[in-house]
Structure 1
Amino acid sequence: MEFRHLGRSGLQVSEITYGNWLTHGSQVENDIATACVHRALDLGITSFDTADVYANGKAETVLGEALKGQRRESLEIFTKVYWPVGPDPKGKNDTGLSRKHVMESIDGSLRRLQTDYVDLYQAHRYDLFTPLEETMQAFADIVHSGKAHYIGVSEWTAEQIRDAHALAVDLKIPLVSSQPQYSMLWRIIEDEVVPTSEELGIGQIVWSPMAQGVLSGKYVPGQPLPEGSRATDQAGGSKMIERFMADETLAAVQDLKPIAEDLGLSMPALAIAWVLQNPNVSAALVGASRPEQLEESVKAAGVTIPDDALARIDEVLGDVVTRDPALVERSTPQQRVV
């Protein structure tokens, strides 16, 4: 495993970071989830990313149980706040980044994760309905109380990041990370978010480096969907992957296979190694529904893809790549969800 600093902070994270978004507490049984976490540890992964909303809190609970008995100081645990969590009906303050919701949410996350602090506490989305000053003051109080060491954001625009960073400086708290979607097929952060983050000393922890599994090459145009794959998951996975399932995209992905073979990499390892070529990327998030899946993911650690291979990738993918930076703003909820 290789390690990188998170932005310009002193915090080092494993460049392959384990995330449990669509798996723990929902798609896989708890014993398999625990086996995946233990295999990640065996492979040198020390950084683990989750969120309170994943499986309505169950993902944090499963991760906390799986990490029980590990030396806490040797781990980096990340979680997030924004979406509603808990029993129905949800209350009117059970979403967003109000002081009330943020302060209550950190305590819930720490309880489920069975830890006194998280290394990174992230705003899962930008909140249009709460003053940014209120949110950042709540984060400052959490940091100053020792419940979180660093602060991050997820799917924020460059302007939103810049505004939050200015307040963080005033409040003397370290805003060090951004967690956006990023892959060979989804490059919308490159024009605005990455340059702003580089200027401010913020690193990217990117999710879906394999474009929801499409970049594994297992989806072949005109062929039946693989049984048990994300594209067949009616619980949510199929909706997330549909943007990448056009035949034109799937055909282009198949043309990446010779490039991966020339580099001695599997398709998953190529996809993960590709995002790690961006110097602003501190870590690539990977998940697993089986422990053996992590074997290929970690082979991306420390890989340098030659410039000629990077050019071939760009040529092969051509117009199927999504680059519009305006799409970042679409991640900001335009209304309260409860």
Structure 2
Amino acid sequence: MTLPPAVPGPSALPADPRRTEAVDPGHADLDRLGVQALVQVLADDQRAAVEAVRAAAPALARAVEAALPRLADGGRLVYLGAGTSGRLGILDATELTPTFSWPPERALGLIAGGEGAIRQAVEGAEDDPALGEADLRAVGVGPGDVVIAVAASGTTPYVLGAARAARAAGALTVGLANNPGTPLLAACECPVLLDTGPEVISGSTRLKAGTAQKIALNTLSSALMVRLGKVYGNLMVDVRASNSKLAARALHLTRHATGAGEAEARAALDAAGGHVKTALVMLRLDLGAPEAEARLAAAGGHARTALGEGLEEG
């Protein structure tokens, strides 16, 4: 009697054009590896995530350029996804407030299955395009908003329903998918392909596909924040000192940007309500907090412009 192979070969599997669903032929004995070799294989495979984002840099740049006018006019960032992709979107949205003082009401995260799905999978929620459309409409997305739709497969019905509804509402749509030629990329005005290929653990897109999504979202949102004046040089000057860790960071950033002593920098930060960018302008131009705030407001929040240094394009 001939027994079937312990691990089915490619011929035993149905064809699927999505590369993220393919079985990586190089790791059929993954479960036989020792711990050192296993960890090395998993770590090495993550390098493909970085390369996928590097290849997508032009598409990410186009998305940044398209999104900037809407956000500068007060629009919102709305992230949507299911499973790992949804959780990564919520993470990126959440981190914008402590990092860049981005108003939390202008960074929304929608995930198939609602908030409960952040910590526990909600089975079947991602299979309903009408649910995605309903969630999108419930937050009142309109022409001023930027919607970032994320799906490793590029075929998730919930994400597709929401993305199509966002585009119909006039919002700018940015689509991140890990498979070429997928419906999500076709549905969005700014498609971003993160072509990471098969996973070491076949089908587990929380691995390098998820890593590529995390890097791409970091890159996209950070680039937006830089261009919106949330950074001076490479200093995170729109941070507010809301806890002891951030207070120490704010003091360090203020001193680095101005050359001020500790006592002088601390006094400026106190007068500025812990806002580094205001303290920076105060110290560099010898202004009080109200005058510095007014100067920043007139400069659209850009510290370089407020300081009379101007911005360079490049």
TM-score range, shorter chain: 0.3 to 0.5
Larger relative contact order, structure 1 or 2 (CA cutoff 8 Å, min sep 6): 1
Give 1 or 2: higher strand fraction: 1
Structure (1/2) with the larger helix percentage: 2
